[in-house]
Amino acid sequence: MIVSVSRRTDIPSFYSDWFFRRLKEGFVYTKNPMNPKQISRLELSPETVDCIVLWTKNPEPMLDRLSELEPYPYYFQFTLTSYGKDVEANLPHKKEVLIPVFQRLSEKVGSKRVIWRYDPILFTKRYTPDYHLKAFGQMAKALKGYTEKCVISFVDTYAKNKKQLQALGVYDLTREETEAFAKELCDIAGENGMVMASCAEQIDLAHCGIEHNACIDKTLIEEIIGCKLKGARDKNQRGECGCMESIDIGTYHTCWNGCVYCYANHSEAQVKENLRKYDVHSPLLCGMIGEEDKVTERKLVSLKEKQLTLF
């Protein structure tokens, strides 16, 4: 199985102690987001885990403990944008902290295993296309040689983020403007040794040099582990998503990055309430097992077809 850590919250940044304890103890509990009374117990052994995909805006808490991940193949999706505190309220300074963290991570694990996510892209009076192009160029130059791929997406409006985006004055570009903007981004990425891909976008940007991306990337995972996988596309994601099937061990409404575009948090109050439930020793992230909860052992197997080196 592929373990996603996590689309729902920033585990590397805020819950790395919990995650490393889960690996050490060899199992984790995860709630069904659609039915929280249903809890699955997942074995986290090198025999069943084919790869771990870590999603984060700040993996610094993990940097000195990466050796604990060595029994497992893994790679990082590192979101690094040019927004200020008005959009990403609780993140450290990008130039002074996060770019150096990105560089240090890449030096430890290799440029192939750190994917740069410049997403989601939103436009306001402050964050104009010209602003993004200038900031992206500066960041791409700083990250040259530290990553091989940059993934972009354009912000989506959901019920959970609509009010915040309206308050920022977010606006859309026309299709022609979007394509011209994306082409300029792609050119900058190419000048800095990166290929560019889009994440779950309806618009086809292939003619701009930007392919549809798979964040849970079967091809990359096969290259990392050295054998073919038999996993299928993830049917639980949006139709535009190209990711292969995975199991996410995160919990919604537990991230305190404070990003206004986030779809994974109901409110700051709910996040604070869930944080009070955090116990590094618990097999469940920011939660407790109730009397009505049903815990079921989920039988999992490796997706590897055979242990033959491809490269």
247-272 pLDDT, tens per residue? 999 999 999 999 999 988 878 899 99
Residue 310 lies in a domain: no
DSSP 134-152: HHHHHHHHHHBTTBSEEEE
Residue 308 lies in a domain: no
Residue 249 lies in a domain: yes
Per-residue model confidence (pLDDT) at position 158? 81
Residue 179 lies in a domain: yes
Q: How far apart are CA 21 and CA 295, in angstroms?
A: 20
Please write down the long-range contacts of 305-309, taking CB distance under 8 Å and 24 or more positions apart.
Answer: 305/227, 305/228, 305/229, 305/230, 306/227, 306/228, 307/226, 307/227, 308/226, 308/227, 308/228, 309/226, 309/227
Which domain CATH number covers 275? Answer: 3.80.30.30
Per-residue model confidence (pLDDT) at position 310? 46
Q: How far apart are CA 51 and CA 72, in angstroms?
A: 6
Q: Do residues 15 and 270 lie in contact, with contact meaning Cβ atoms separated by under 8 Å? A: no
Per-residue model confidence (pLDDT) at position 306? 67
Q: How many domains does the chain have?
A: 1
225-247 pLDDT, tens per residue? 999 999 888 787 776 787 899 99
Residue 38 lies in a domain: yes
Closest C-alpha among 273, 254, 285, 255 to residue 30: 285
Residue 122 lies in a domain: yes
| Cβ within 8 Å of residue 258, ≥6 positions away | 88, 89, 90, 91, 268
Q: Tens-digit pLDDT profile for the chain (311 aa)?
A: 999 999 999 999 999 999 999 999 999 999 998 898 999 999 999 999 999 999 999 999 999 999 999 999 999 999 999 999 999 999 999 999 999 999 999 999 999 999 999 999 999 999 999 999 999 999 999 999 999 999 999 998 887 788 899 999 999 999 999 999 999 999 999 999 999 999 878 888 999 999 888 899 999 999 999 999 998 887 877 767 878 999 999 999 999 999 999 988 878 899 999 999 999 999 999 988 888 999 999 988 899 986 545 44
Strands 27-32 and 35-43: antiparallel
Residue 72 lies in a domain: yes
- Count of positions (residues) in the chain: 311
Residue 180 lies in a domain: yes
pTM (predicted TM-score): 0.94
- Domain interval for residue 229: 2-297
Return the structure tokens found at 203: 């618009």
Return the structure tokens found at 65: 């403990």
